[in-house]
Structure formats: C-alpha cells, structure tokens
Structure 1
Amino acid sequence: MMMQVLGGNISSSLLGLQHLQYLNLSCNEFYGVQIPEFLGSLHKLRSIDLSRSTFSGRIPPQLGNLSNLRCLNLGWADYTYSMDITWLAQLTSLEQLDLSGTNLSTIVQWLPVVSMLPSLKVLRLSDCNLRASSYSLQISNLTSLETLDLSYNFYNTSITPNWFWGLTGLKYLDISWNGLYGQFPDEIGNMTSMVMFDLQMNNLVGMISSNLQNLCSLEKFYARGNNINGSITEFFLRLPSCSWNKLTRVLLSSNNLTGSLPTKLKPLSNLSGLILGNNKLTGPVPLWIGELMKLTELDLSYNNLEGFINEEHLSGLESLEKLWLSNNSIALVLNSTWVPPSNLTDIGLRSCLLGPKFPLWLRWLTRLDNLDISNTNISDKVPDWFWAVASTVRTLNMRHNQIIGSLPSTMEHMRATAIDLSSNQFNGPIPKLPISLSELDLSRNNLVGPLPSDFGAPSLARLILFDNSISGTIPSSLCKLRLLLLLDISENKLTGQIPDCAAITSETNMTSIFSIKGDFIILNVASSGYKAL
C-alpha cells in the first residue's frame, strides 16, 4: 500500500493554533518549499520536527522567538542552509537540536553559539560542512550534553586537541567520516560515561590506549577504516573489563589488525556484532566464537584465517543472522544432518572449502537474502530443494565451482536482483528470468538452446552469457530491455541477423543497444556467427 505524504505550501492558517505545543511534519515531501517564517509566532511550541521532509532554502531566524522550544529537529530536511545561527542562542530551554544535512559552511563561530545552550542534551550536526573547531573552548554551559554527532564533516585535522574531549559527561559521540588523523587519543580514557564511540573512517593510527579500562558503561565501539595496526589479542586485552558484559557491538574492519584471535576469551555474553573483516588476522577460528549466544552478525572475511569450522563453532549461535567468512582458507566441516541457525539471512563463504558435495545444511534455511558460495570447490549436482531455498534470495553467487544441473523452470519466481552462476557446468536452456533481476552472469557454462523469446526481466542492466553453446538467433525481445548497459553473448553458436532495435522500439537507449560504439552499451557478439557491424 502506498504511503500518503503531505506536500505543497504550508498554510499560514496554522497561526490560528496559538496553543499548539507539538508540530511534527517529518517524512513528508515539501519539495522546494522554505520552512515558513510564521512558525516563529507560535510561541507555545515545545517541539518542532521537520526532519526528512525535503524543505529547501534558508532556515528562518524567526525560530529564535520560540523561547519554550525543547526540541528542534530539522535534520536531513533537504537543501536547507543558514548563514547566521546566532538566533539559536535565544532558545535557552532547548534540549535537542538536530541540523544534520544543513549547509553551515559559511559560519565560522558556530561553536560559541551552541555553547550558549545550557540545557542541551542532544546535538546532531552531521554533514553540515562545519569548519573545524580544534581550539580549547570554555564549555561549562554544555555540561548537560549526552549525545554529540559531528559525523561526515570532513575536517581533515588532528583528532587532538579538540573541544569535545572536555565533555566528559558524553554518552554517545559520533565523529566518524571526518578525516581526523593522529595517534589513537588517550583522551578517550577520560570519557567515563561513554556508551557508544563511533570513530569510523578516519585516519587514526596505533593501538587503542590502555586507559579504556575506565569506560565501564561502554556498549558499542566502532573504529572501522582506521589503522589500529596492532595485535588483535592486545586489542581485546585493552577493552574495558568492567564493561565486558555490556558490550553489544565491536566494529574493527579495515584496520590492519594482525595476529591470531586469542584461543581463550571470557564470553562476551551480550555481544550481538563482531566485525573484524578486511584485516590481517591469521590462525584458526577459536571455539569461544560459539559461546557468543546473542551474536547476530559475525564478519571474519578478507583475512588470512585457516583451519576448520565445525558444529561446535556455530551451534551455540542461535541468534546469528549474518555470517561472513569469505576470502579465508577455512574449511567448513559440517555434518550433513547439522541444522544451522534458523535466522540466517546473509551467508558469505567465498573461497572457503565447502565441497566437493553440495552443502546439505542449506536446505534448512528459509529466510536467505544473500548467499555467496563462489569458489568453494563444489563439484556436485544442484539438488532440487536448493532452488526453493534460493527463491527468497536477493543476491546469489555460485561462480567458479564445478556445479552441474539445469536451471529450474521456476527461476522466474525468484525475487533475486543479481545472480552469478558463471564458470560452472550448468546445462540446458535459459528459462524465463525473475522479474526483479538486474544482473545475470551465466558465462562459461554448457547452456544450450535458443535465447528466451521473453526474458521476463525488464530491469536487466548486465547480461553476460559468453562461452556457452547457445544457438538460434538473437530475439527482438532484447530490444525491449531499455536499462541494458552490458551485453556479452560472444563465443556461442548464434546465427542470423541482428535485430533492428530502432525499428522495434522508440526508446532512446534502445536504438544503440547493438552499437559497438554506443555510449552506454557494450556489446560483444564475437565468434557467434555474425558479420562485423
């Protein structure tokens, strides 16, 4: 059912509601409409939420007249800006301020203005093009601040000194995606009230400081995309032991972490996410992984892990939803009767060892959304039950195996958007495709028969079928694929004439679908019995 949204101009008749205290117009579509100045005359307002409603233009300074305002949320309104925020200083009762997505690039002294709001508990200024404010500022008026979000401002400055390190009462600090550089700051150890640290995608180097032991309320620690570049065992030792049973998410992917995971570790009883992908970890996967009873997301992909994983590693993970082990040298040694966690939706096992038999444990999964078992040494026939399991997936990757069998006639009922079955031994004809499919790679197989007269996938953007034994002519139905950007049907047994798409469809992009020089279309029909164009 289509959601109904509001749009158009906001009538000044709202001024008749002089006792209005709460105004929420969030998640609507006021394209190109400015936030009305007359809202500043509704003096009883305590809360305004215009977030994600596609407002544009200048934020009216008349909002500074609303002395009773406790919450002002203009986050992600759309193309809003302000060149002067001094009016904010009049909102002395303000507890929550969200200007995320507002262009504040011309404002140099934004921090002194914000520091004049003594009751402020939540401040969100994500993606505001803020000027860096690394100087020390007397911020005694911000002692109530608990949540600070300065993400996506791309300061490209040193992480220390910085004014926010003096806010020792903070519980949630997000300074991700800011290009902050320097050593991992010792100042973190002073933030003893911290519940969530988000330091992702900066340029911090070195091991986290040992004084993290002071953070006894820590639940979430995000440091993806930095350069911690030390031992993973040392990292675990430096996590605050007093918050060991409170930690719910640890995100450390892309950090150059080295060494083996510790063989013994006191169970992190509330951990729901352990993200260690794209590091330089070595050695086996320890058995304590299986003791993380609340784990929903495990990412060990793109490391140099080896050895094996069996039921003992996985059977305790009843809540597991996402399992990513791709690009390691891990063998999955699982009994054919093993039943995996029923909540699994995402599985990435690329380049692990699963074969030679097709993994029978997949048959128990009914909620799969993404499955990658490419390059896993499977040399077996696809069982009939697998296509029923795969009917729910959005992305399916089984390339670079030796899988045999034919594509199912029920393929059109899958909900997939991307399928890669290339470099296998699939045979038989190409069936009608899923209606939602945008990418299909069936290259380097043994497919035969003609191309479908009706592909059944109007949104196809990439269709790669080279190096098969497909015969017959190119059907004119290809001309109707108006989103097609890449077509490769080379090294087949096609004959006949190339369809004249210009005569078949009036769609602009279709007139060049078979043009080698087209701006958008790459066509390869080499070795298919066609004359050069």
Structure 2
Amino acid sequence: MSELDYLVLPHNKLIGEIPSSICDLRLLTLLHLADNHLEGQIPKCLGNFNSSLLALNLGQNQITALQSTFAKGCSLQSLILYGNKLEGITHSLINCQRLESIDFGDNEIRGAFPFWMEAFPQLRVLVLRSNKLNGTMLEASKTEHPFPKLQVLYISRNAFVGYLPDRYFKNCEGMIDAKDNLTRVGKDGLQTYLDLGVILKGLDQELKRLLDTFTMIDLSSNRFSGNIPVSIGNLNSLRYLNLSNNTLTGEIPVSLGNISISNTLIGYSNSKMKRRNTAKATIRGR
C-alpha cells in the first residue's frame, strides 16, 4: 500500500505499539488512529514525513512518548494527542511552522508553559487542558506578535500562577473582527476527521469543524491571581471566556462591554467560583 493517502481506523480495539513499518507509507497525508488501545512510543520516523503528513490524530490511547524528531520543512497542520500518557512535548515541533491545531489535553505533561509555541504563525487552536503544567505565563516573549491567529486557548485544570497573560490578549488577532472565511474548502475535508472536544456551559461538546468565528479562552481551574486585564476587551469577537476557579481580585473591567457576542461567558456563576474569585461587577446579558 505504498501509495496510501489516508489511514483512518479510529474507535476500534487496536492494541500494542504503532509499528515502525507505518513509515513505509511515504505518501500518507492523514493518520487517524484515535480511541483505540495503542501504547508505547510514537515511531521516530513519523517526523520524517516532511512533504506528505498533514494531520496526525492519536487521541484517546495510552501512548507514553512522542519521540519523533520533526525536521525542518515539516508539513504537519494538525497534531491531536489528547487523552494519552504523555509527560512532555518535543521541542522539534518548532520546525512544523504550518501547524494550525495542537491538542495535548488530558495527559501528564509537566513543567512550564511552552512559550516557544508563540512563534507558530498559523496556529488557530492550542489545547493543553488537564495536565500538570505550572509556573507563570509571563516569561519575556521572544516573538514580536505571539499567537497572531489563535482562536482557541484552552489551558484549564493546570497549576499556572501569577497574573493572566496580558500580552496574548493584545495580540490574538484571530479573536478580533472575526469573519467566516468560505475559501477553506480543501482543509474542511481534512477537518472531518479531526474533532475538537470542548466544555461549554458545563457540557462536553464536540466540534466537527472549526469556524473562523469560533473563539474561546478557558483559563479556569488554575491559580491565577490579580486583576482581569483591561486588554481582554480588545477581543471583540470572543465567544467563550472562562476564568472561574482562580483567585482573581478587583473588578471586572468595563472594556468587556466591547465583547458583543451573546455567548460570551465570564465564569462566576456558581457558589464555588464566587468563593474563590473576589472580582465584583454587574454583568448584564446581551
């Protein structure tokens, strides 16, 4: 099957490690093996599919390591590894400058926030929720415009501390004046196999297609402190905002009135949130 383009076998009962012979498929564009019982390490050779592999979805398995070394010229656009047993992220992903979607949610990843990901010029989705990341998100940026196209920043249920990352709110142009781009026909065909699981209003939801107008920031259930930055009001196309279960203080900034989309959330709606956050304001629905 040397000319195989898509290998799509999710939601089965496949077991064992991914064989290195998978790398004989030199023209593979999509490898989708999510929701199986695969374990061990991802073959190193997968990082060598520089000109063909666009999407890798191995979510909901028992994979322990992403050992692939991604070389310069990597064409990968989507990397989905949620729900595994990963403890780290290979820095060689920096060579995949075409990445649009990264999902490492629900793993065992430790250490600091991966600031080097700020340099991805096309990144639209970054999901790092439910890991063991810690420290602040205030490291001096080496990128002039970090995360310029980011639409989804989902880092809830970690152990981040300190102030909220103000510089991201200032630079996320993907959440400002967002309009659906109807020219994404080719990529939408690939997105059929790449689901994005999110929690909205307390309910698990699965997005089959990421619209250009879907925007979300979820920083809940960390240890962030201080005030909510005024700059967050610059994101006038922000649909979902969840800052609950932190230790924020002060008032909710008036600038949030610039966010006119009706589905916008703040996340101070239940008693537990009110005990942990002491921000005070009157929020009126639109």
* TM-score, structure 2 as length reference: 0.74
Name which of 173, 186, 191 aligns with 1:342. 173
Please identify, of 281-290 and 296-305, the stretch whose mean Cα deviation from structure 2 is larger: 281-290
Aligned counterpart, 1:456: none
Work out the CA distance in 2 between the residues paired with 1:270 and 1:383.
35
Aligned counterpart, 1:200: 34
Is the 1:192–1:214 contact (alpha carbons within 8 Å) kept by the matching residues of 2? no
Please identify, of 269-278 and 331-340, the stretch whose mean Cα deviation from structure 2 is larger: 331-340
DSSP 3-state at the match of 2:173: coil
DSSP 3-state at the match of 1:229: strand
Residue 240 of structure 1 deviates from its aligned partner by: 4.9
Is the 1:347–1:370 contact (alpha carbons within 8 Å) kept by the matching residues of 2? yes
Work out the CA distance in 2 between the residues paired with 1:346 and 1:251.
18
Work out the CA distance in 2 between the residues paired with 1:376 and 1:313.
27
Residue 389 of structure 1 deviates from its aligned partner by: 1.7
State whether structure 2 residue 85 is matched by structure 1 residue 251.
Answer: no
DSSP 3-state at the match of 1:309: coil
Aligned counterpart, 1:218: 53
User: 5+ residue gaps in structure 1?
Assistant: 1-166, 414-533
Aligned counterpart, 2:110: 282
Aligned counterpart, 1:228: 63
Aligned counterpart, 1:186: 20
Aligned counterpart, 1:316: 146
Note closer, same or farther for the CA distance 1:362–1:183 as it changes in structure 2 (3 Å cut).
same
Name which of 267, 270, 276 aligns with 2:95. 267
Residue 357 of structure 1 deviates from its aligned partner by: 1.0
Residue 334 of structure 1 deviates from its aligned partner by: 3.8
Aligned counterpart, 1:11: none
Residue 304 of structure 1 deviates from its aligned partner by: 0.4
Please identify, of 383-392 and 247-256, the stretch whose mean Cα deviation from structure 2 is larger: 383-392
Deviation per CA, 1:67-110: give whole Å up to 9, x if none: xxxxxxxxxxxxxxxxxxxxxxxxxxxxxxxxxxxxxxxxxxxx
Residue 355 of structure 1 deviates from its aligned partner by: 2.8
Is the 2:71–2:95 contact (alpha carbons within 8 Å) kept by the matching residues of 1? no
DSSP 3-state at the match of 2:153: strand
Runs of 4 or more consecutive aligned structure 1 residues displaced over 4 Å after TM superposition = 262-265, 335-338
Work out the CA distance in 2 between the residues paired with 1:269 and 1:222.
18
Note closer, same or farther for the CA distance 1:390–1:349 as it changes in structure 2 (3 Å cut).
farther
Map of 1:381-396 to 2, 5 A cutoff? 381-389=251-259, 391-393=261-263, 395-396=265-266
Decide which structure has the larger Cα Rg and report it: 1
Give, as a single letter, the amino acid of the residue that structure 2 aligns with 1:343.
Answer: G
Residue 383 of structure 1 deviates from its aligned partner by: 2.7
Work out the CA distance in 2 between the residues paired with 1:336 and 1:203.
40
Name which of 399, 402, 414 aligns with 2:278. 402
Map of 1:91-110 to 2, 5 A cutoff? none
User: 5+ residue gaps in structure 2?
Assistant: 176-214
Is the 2:251–2:281 contact (alpha carbons within 8 Å) kept by the matching residues of 1? yes
Residue 238 of structure 1 deviates from its aligned partner by: 1.3
Residue 307 of structure 1 deviates from its aligned partner by: 1.4
Deviation per CA, 1:239-262: give whole Å up to 9, x if none: 5537x4311111001111014x45
Is the 1:303–1:327 contact (alpha carbons within 8 Å) kept by the matching residues of 2? yes
Work out the CA distance in 2 between the residues paired with 1:286 and 1:329.
14
Residue 204 of structure 1 deviates from its aligned partner by: 0.7
DSSP 3-state at the match of 1:371: strand
Work out the CA distance in 2 between the residues paired with 1:340 and 1:388.
16
Residue 176 of structure 1 deviates from its aligned partner by: 1.0
Residue 263 of structure 1 deviates from its aligned partner by: 6.0
State whether structure 2 residue 250 is matched by structure 1 residue 380.
Answer: yes
Aligned counterpart, 2:241: 371
Residue 266 of structure 1 deviates from its aligned partner by: 3.8
State percent identity of aligned pairs: 22
* TM-score, structure 1 as length reference: 0.41
Residue 211 of structure 1 deviates from its aligned partner by: 3.5
Deviation per CA, 1:501-525: give whole Å up to 9, x if none: xxxxxxxxxxxxxxxxxxxxxxxxx
Is the 1:368–1:392 contact (alpha carbons within 8 Å) kept by the matching residues of 2? no
Work out the CA distance in 1 between the residues paired with 2:167 and 2:116.
23
DSSP 3-state at the match of 1:204: strand
Deviation per CA, 1:200-252: give whole Å up to 9, x if none: 1111111012333553411111100011123xxxx1x415537x431111100
Is the 1:221–1:250 contact (alpha carbons within 8 Å) kept by the matching residues of 2? yes
Map of 1:32-181 to 2, 5 A cutoff? 167-181=1-15
Is the 1:190–1:214 contact (alpha carbons within 8 Å) kept by the matching residues of 2? no
Is the 2:29–2:55 contact (alpha carbons within 8 Å) kept by the matching residues of 1? yes
Map of 1:486-497 to 2, 5 A cutoff? none
State whether structure 2 residue 131 is matched by structure 1 residue 303.
Answer: yes
Work out the CA distance in 1 between the residues paired with 2:31 and 2:93.
23
Question: Considering only aligned residues, what root-mean-square deviation do their CA atoms show, in Å?
Answer: 2.5
Note closer, same or farther for the CA distance 1:286–1:169 as it changes in structure 2 (3 Å cut).
same
Note closer, same or farther for the CA distance 1:245–1:212 as it changes in structure 2 (3 Å cut).
closer
Residue 335 of structure 1 deviates from its aligned partner by: 4.9
Is the 1:349–1:373 contact (alpha carbons within 8 Å) kept by the matching residues of 2? yes
Note closer, same or farther for the CA distance 1:277–1:338 as it changes in structure 2 (3 Å cut).
closer
Is the 1:265–1:288 contact (alpha carbons within 8 Å) kept by the matching residues of 2? no
